[in-house]
Amino acid sequence: MDSRLSLIGYRGTGKTTVARLLARELGWSALDADEELERQAGRSIAEIFASDGEALFRDLEEKVVEELCELQMVVLSLGGGAVLRAATRLRLSAAGPVIWLTATPGVLAERLAHDPTTGARRPNLTAAGGLAEIEQLLAVRAPLYAECATFAVDTDARSPEEVAQEILLRLRAS
């Protein structure tokens, strides 16, 4: 197995939680790209969007992903929009297996509505917000996730532990 694994997908698919479970199982570290970006910037993603806009945020995100892809024995969880830039998709694909965590829009909306950190840390990306935003962004992002994913794992009605076990089984079988 490679010494680096990346998890991609829309927010609310469980990337950070599953990354921690995988890292524990593998004896590796788990790193969240959004958390690292906020640490380096000294402010939240919502604050970056509000003061500097999405373009600067994506510049910072690309830089952080580049740094994280150089690390070894790590499971990376990426922000939902990290795949928007072609350079980042290529970098992720070259760095090791990329697992796309999926969920239906309704499940994502429900998860995000019950996540206390979503509103404080992550801004709405469209005027619509909620389910309409999820459907709109997934229409754009799904082909990009598919482009760089080694394989996809459905997280609907599944615990993070079940998702992590499926990933490990599929990686070990390949």
pTM across the whole model: 0.92
Q: Within the chain, which residues score under 70 in pLDDT?
A: 1, 116-129
For the segment 64-101, what is each residue's pLDDT rounded down to a tens digit? 999 999 999 999 999 999 999 999 999 999 999 999 99
What is residue 112's predicted lDDT score, i.e. its pLDDT? Answer: 85
What is residue 125's predicted lDDT score, i.e. its pLDDT? Answer: 54
Distance CA 31, CA 95 (A): 15
Pairing of strands 4-8, 151-154: unpaired
What is residue 117's predicted lDDT score, i.e. its pLDDT? Answer: 63
What is residue 2's predicted lDDT score, i.e. its pLDDT? Answer: 74
Q: Could you tell me if 23 and 30 are in contact, meaning their C-beta atoms sit under 8 angstroms apart?
A: yes
What is residue 114's predicted lDDT score, i.e. its pLDDT? Answer: 81
Distance CA 66, CA 59 (A): 11
What is residue 121's predicted lDDT score, i.e. its pLDDT? Answer: 54
The 3-state DSSP class for residue 161 equals helix
What domains are defined for the chain?
4-173 (3.40.50.300)
Name the token pair of 90. 């290529």
What is residue 140's predicted lDDT score, i.e. its pLDDT? Answer: 95
